[in-house]
Every structure is written in C-alpha cells, then in structure tokens.
A and B are shown apart, each in its own frame.
Chain A
Amino acid sequence: MTEMTYLRAISDGLRTEMRDDERVLLMGEDIGVYGGAFKVTDGFIEEFGPGRVMDTPLAEAGIVGTAVGAAVVGLRPVCEMQFADFVACGFDQIVNVAGKMFYRQGLPVNITVRLPGGGGFSGGPFHSQNPEAWFMHAPGLKVVAPSTAEDAKGMIIASIRDPNPVIYMEHKNLYRRIKGEVPEGSYETPFTARVAREGTDLAVITYGAMVHTALDATQDLDGASIMVLDLRSLVPLDEQAILDAVRLCSKVVIVDEANQTCAAGAQVAALIAEFAFEDLDGPVVRVASPDVPIPFSPPLEAVVLPSVDRVREACRQLLEY
C-alpha cells in the first residue's frame, strides 16, 4: 500500500497495465512530450516511447476513430480527451462506431476513453461539464466514474481489460485533493457500487466527486444514521445495491454534479420508483446542477454546483418528512 493522489493512482494504473500488456497504447493531445494537460502521463513517453504514447492532432474524432481501428486489429488503446467537454467532437465515433461495432459485425472494440470532467475551479462552460449521461443513453458503452484513489487505479485497469468500449470519467476536482492508500501491482475494481458509509435512516446515492460532498454533508447531521452509496459504475448500474439501500433506509437523496435533466441520478430515481415503491417513506429527492452552463464567475459557480450545504439541507428536510 502506498498513499497517493487520485491523479497518481490513475497514472499508476495506466503504467502497471502498459508494463503488463504490450497491446496497451495511449493516444491524446499533448500526452507525450508535455506529459498531458494534467500530467497524468508525465514520464510515459520516456518509458514506453512515442509508438505507445502518441501525441495526436487536435481532432477527437480522429483519436477515437484511430483507436477503434487499432482495437479491431487486437490492440487496447486508451484515449485521453483533454477535457471531457471536448468529447463532443468524437461523439459519432464513440456512439455510432465503437458502441455498435460488436452488435453489427461481432468485432469487440476494446478501447478506453478517459474523460477528465467536472467543475469547481472556475473553468467555465467548456471545461467543467459532466457529460456521462450522454453515453449512458447510447447502447454498447460502459461508463464508470471512480471516486477514490484505490478505485481510480482498479477501474482504469478493469476498463482497459474490458472488451467493451469504456468511458472512464475522472473528476478533475479529485485529482490532487483526494489521496488514499493504493495497493501495489495490478488489480481490478469491479463495476459495482460501494457503500462509502453505512447508515439506516437515509441513503445518499451518488458517484464521482459528489461522494465526497455527500460524506462531508452527512458527517454529523443531528445524529442521524446516513448511508452514502458510491455507484462507481453508471453502466452497468448496480441496481441491486441501489434497491438494497432503499429497502434499508426508505428515504433517498440522489446527488448529481451534472445538469439535472436526464442525469445519471434520474435513472436511479426511475429505478427506485418502479421497483422500490413499497419501501419508500418519502419522496425521492434529487440534488443536481440546474440546467444551465457552468459559469466562470466563482460565486456563481458555487451556487450552481451542488454544495455541502445544499446536500445537507436536502437530507435534513427529508429526514424531517
């Protein structure tokens, strides 16, 4: 076990898998000589050479399209979108080509697309989004979003090994803020939910950076026993874990950092309404960003993104219900 940041844990996972499996290669903008916009791949080009750590043009469709071709002939490419927001340029290659190749032609597309997402640092509307739900809606893709350093490493390795195209959401606001003990060597974290804190009065269901917001918000809430469920994987969604949490607690707050409409939490809420109706003791409450672009202005951004205070107030209201 070594303590490291969330960001180093992703690097460690990539490096471990590249050493173990020479089919793994990286593609992205400025990931080689510069070491990546956030330095996730710092030092990689020295160790693995420019053939496996490829600096690409500013063309996301080209990056993903090339990766799909490489995967079809047996390689395991990992694409970095410099910011998750830029993935929109590669959308067609992911949704229509990578996601449907196996269905149409029986060819597995073993690619991983890393999406540094999320706000909280005044990045504005093009550098702060959480686009995971776009991909949840498209069949043929998996979508994961780890919240801890240990899971970040285990899930990048599991994503690379998974034969499906995997969208790997990594939250920029966790990169250097979150640290944790990370096991040495190679391991896979399963695409299932994790109970971040046990509790029986109310369950907060969330993922990614909001796991930490939820933990902070419910640390000490008038002595109530509050569960925090970290989904970790959005596709596949751990439906059993969600329903188990509802059956135990009967009250649920769902937190998304993404814009509210059709966010991942909307799917969770629909699932609960359909399959756990008889276990509910209150309305399913959602906390998310309103349906607006993320503002540059720090005070405005603080109002838009779900804060510790907003989550705490939502929990308190529901507990009193």
Chain B
Amino acid sequence: MPQMGVSVAEGTVVEWRKQRGDWIEADETICEISTDKIDTEVPSPAAGRLVEILVQVGVTVEVGTTLARIATDARPGEAHDVEGARPPVAPADGTSDGARPSPGARDPAPPSPPRPAPARAPSAAPAPARRGSPARRYSPVVQRIADEHDVDLDEVEGTGREGRVRKQDVMGYVEARGGVARPAGASPTEPTLHIESPYRPGAGASLHGPYTPPEGRPLSRMRQTIGQHMKRSQETAATCTTWIEVDVSRVELARKELGITALPLIARCAIGALIEFPLLNAWLEGDNHTVHEQVNLGIAVSLGEDGLIVPVVRGAQDLSPEGLSRRIRDLARRARARQLSPDDVRGATFTLTNPGQFGSMMATPVISQPQVAILDVEAIIKRPVVVTDQFGEDAIAIRPMVILGLSWDHRALDGAVAARFLASIKKRVEGYEA
C-alpha cells in the first residue's frame, strides 16, 4: 500500500486491474485504492508478471503492506503457470510455415483467440513474418484503422514501397470485406434498434398490497467518510451562522469583462478579509489554536450524487481573480475526473462553498474540522433595494444581490468578529475595482 500523501495511514483495495498471470508494464495501473482522502490508481513499480495478489478487493491495510508480487525476471509472451494449465491450443492459422512443425503445449506463440498484449511491450515472441519478408512495420494511421475494424494486418496486401501496407490498402481491405467477413451482430458497438418499454402489466397492483421497499445497499465509502467528518464537526464545534446581504453589481461587471464566474472574485474579496481578520483563518484542535498567515482556500466541489470533495488552493492570498479562477477550474476538473492527489485536499485554512448555482438562497453550512469557519455563497438574484445617491436621496433600484452565510465556531471567536469579517467582505465586494 503506497504512501499517497503525508497524512494517509491506510487504504482499501477497490479493484484489481490486473489478474494473476497478467503481464504488466512499469507505471501501468495495477489496482485502484481508496483512502480517507481520495480514490486513486496505483502504478506498477516495475515491469513483470503478476504472480500473486495478497490483498483482496474491499480489504483495508496499513501503508507499507505488500499488495501483490510481480516476477521481474519473467518475459512477456512466454508460457507461465496459468497459461500452462490450459489445454493446448492450435497455432494461429497459416503463420507457422517454415517454423518448427510441432505446435504443442510448449509452443511459445501466444494462444488464440488473441490475448490483449500490452501496447508497448517489447515483444519477445517471434514477429509474424509473411512469405519470408522481414518484420513488417505499420504507420500510425494504418494501425489505428486496423484496430478499429479488427483487421489482422498480416492478411493485407501492401502496395507501398517494398510491399508496405498503406492507408488505402487497409481501407480497401475493410471495404472489400464489408458485410461478408463480419458475421451479423459480431460488432460489440452495434446499438440496439429498439428500447424495451418500461410498461409491465399488473405493476399497479402493488399500490394496493403492502409496500415492498427495494433492497438496501451499504452506503458508499465516500458518503460514509463525509458523514463521519460532518458529524464529528457538529459534535466538536459550537457552530453559529451569520448572514449578510451584498450588492454584487461591480463584481458582475468585472467578471463579465474577465470572462470568468463571480466565485473567484468573491473569493478574492474573502481572502482580503481573511488577511484583515486572521482569527477566521485558523485551526482549533482541542485547546491548540493555530492562526495562519497563508490562506489555503478549500473549495467544495460537488461530485453529483456520489458526494463532494474539497480541493485546496494553496497560497491563495498571492493569486489574482484570474489565477484563482484557473486554479479552481483545474481542481474542479481533476476532482470530477477523480484525479486529485491526497495532498490536493489537505491543509485548508478556510472553506468556500457555492451551492447557489441552483438558485438556493440561504444555508447553514457545517464547518470542516479543524477550521473555524466556512463561507457559503448563495444565488445571485436581482432584487429591488434602497440606494442612496450622492445628495442623500433614497431611491429603489434593481441590483444583483447575494446572501453570504458564515458558519463560525463560537469556541474560537465571537459574533462581533464574525460580523465585522462579513462586513469587510461586503465592503470589498460592493467597492470592487478590477
């Protein structure tokens, strides 16, 4: 179990990508693991043959535990115990002319049907020679077309220089074969022509009988982890929530000019306020109170129904709104592609959550421990508000407004500081200058 980031102590095997007996290249993914921070792929430390899997799917082990053994003295393509146990297989058709005439159990050629070989494996098996010609090499486009149409390039007559197979040769071969060589329904990508109707006779009957709920399943690992963290926070912190209403006219103008969303601009204002009120940029662990100078901004990223993850923009105080926007987008993209490293989600000193994109107006977010506050940015909605002009005259104007909600830990600070912090954000947002 590799050390995936400094704080990770244990991990669970989620899936084995390779099975016993498979050949694996160095850095090819051997299995997937899940830690309390993140799900990730494990690259193979060496090339060789997977001879033993020691930790089965679903089992959690400590960092440093051996997951599997790889025989590094094995060679790709050579017989091994798993293949050797299979019954002897006939050699590939027509390729053995001139070869040793004893296609038996010890034949070094790969068995048929063809096994998917690793793309870059240095092939130790004899290269298929055609009519005594030297080993053929194919251009990238020819290989791609052959792969897409499942063509054995040994079968294709080459018309290029020295019998080279050209693009038009392989395309001509595919066209000539079209419909004849390929048995009906053989293509796995063929879409079904009809979608089965969901209607079932008699389904309505269940409305009258006793209700039979569908079978329950254990909560996903991610949901369990989120649940534990959130529950622990509610049991630990003395959480209060304070709201403030902010006019975002200037931010809206600036973000349109920059071609980015409002979030990084509001984040920039919040970072300014955190520098002014460092009590909000802090950790409280028991009685140990750490106030940070650097702002490591956690950004909650929804992963749909699976859950959410909070990647961290480190050193956010040094970034412009455009820089923040780029970092947030990059982290969100990698989060959704499940490509975050454990260190991408560690060390947040303050968290921003932004569920307002769906139109919600207020929330009481839960603080991510051991931080002492979390800022919730809700939907930007145009509202009539009272504005005062330069002569002190009041008027009603239509302005884009947002409600910012701050959940804060009463153990670490008091309501006055929280309110002043929010007022500082409001001042920065309403007076925003690019």
**With A250-B167, A321-B166 given, is the CB distance from A280 to B161 under 8 Å?**
no
Interface size on B, residues (CB 8 A): 10
Among the 9-residue stretches B135-143, B193-201, B294-302, B318-326, the one with 4 or more Cβ atoms under 8 Å from chain A is B135-143
- Are A281 and B167 interface neighbours, CB within 8 A? yes
Contact pattern, A 256-291, Cβ under 8 Å of B = 1, otherwise 0: 000000000000000000000111111000000000
- Are A280 and B141 interface neighbours, CB within 8 A? yes
B160 within 8 A of A: yes
Residues in A whose Cβ lies below 8 Å from that of B167: 250, 281
- Are A281 and B142 interface neighbours, CB within 8 A? yes
In-complex Cβ contact of A320 among B141, B144, B160 (8 A): B160
- Are A250 and B141 interface neighbours, CB within 8 A? yes
Q: Describe A's contact surface by its main secondary structure.
A: loop
- Are B139 and A281 interface neighbours, CB within 8 A? yes
Quick one: which of A101-155 are within 8 Å of B by CB? none
Residues in A whose Cβ lies below 8 Å from that of B161: 320-321
B164 within 8 A of A: yes
- Are A278 and B160 interface neighbours, CB within 8 A? no
Q: Describe B's contact surface by its main secondary structure.
A: helix
Residues in B whose Cβ lies below 8 Å from that of A250: 139, 141, 167
Chain B residue nearest in CB terms to A283: B139
Chain A residue nearest in CB terms to B147: A278
**With A320-B161, A321-B160 given, is the CB distance from A281 to B144 under 8 Å?**
no
Separation of A280 and B166 alpha carbons in the complex (Å): 10
Residues in B whose Cβ lies below 8 Å from that of A280: 139-141
Expressed in whole angstroms, the minimum distance between the Cβ of A171 and any Cβ of chain B is 34
Chain B residue nearest in CB terms to A279: B141
Residues in A whose Cβ lies below 8 Å from that of B160: 320-321
Residues in B whose Cβ lies below 8 Å from that of A282: 139
Contact pattern, A 43-55, Cβ under 8 Å of B = 1, otherwise 0: 0000000000000
Quick one: which of B138-161 are within 8 Å of A by CB? 139-142, 144, 160-161
Expressed in whole angstroms, the minimum distance between the Cβ of B106 and any Cβ of chain A is 37
Expressed in whole angstroms, the minimum distance between the Cβ of B136 and any Cβ of chain A is 14
Chain A residue nearest in CB terms to B139: A281
Separation of A281 and B167 alpha carbons in the complex (Å): 6
- Are B166 and A279 interface neighbours, CB within 8 A? no
Residues in B whose Cβ lies below 8 Å from that of A320: 160-161
- Are B166 and A277 interface neighbours, CB within 8 A? no
Chain A residue nearest in CB terms to B143: A278
Residues in B whose Cβ lies below 8 Å from that of A321: 160-161, 164, 166
Residues in B whose Cβ lies below 8 Å from that of A278: 140-141, 144
Separation of A281 and B158 alpha carbons in the complex (Å): 13
Expressed in whole angstroms, the minimum distance between the Cβ of A157 and any Cβ of chain B is 28
Chain B residue nearest in CB terms to A317: B161
Separation of A281 and B142 alpha carbons in the complex (Å): 7
Separation of A181 and B140 alpha carbons in the complex (Å): 42
Q: Which 7 pairs from chain A and chain B are nearest by CB?
A: A281-B167, A281-B139, A281-B141, A278-B140, A250-B167, A278-B144, A250-B141
25 sampled A-B residue pairs with Cβ under 8 A:
A250-B139, A250-B167, A277-B140, A278-B140, A278-B141, A278-B144, A279-B140, A279-B141, A279-B144, A280-B139, A280-B140, A280-B141, A281-B139, A281-B140, A281-B141, A281-B142, A281-B166, A281-B167, A282-B139, A320-B160, A320-B161, A321-B160, A321-B161, A321-B164, A321-B166
Q: Contacts A280-B139, A321-B166 known; list 9 others, CB within 8 Å.
A: A250-B167, A279-B141, A280-B140, A280-B141, A281-B142, A281-B167, A282-B139, A320-B160, A320-B161
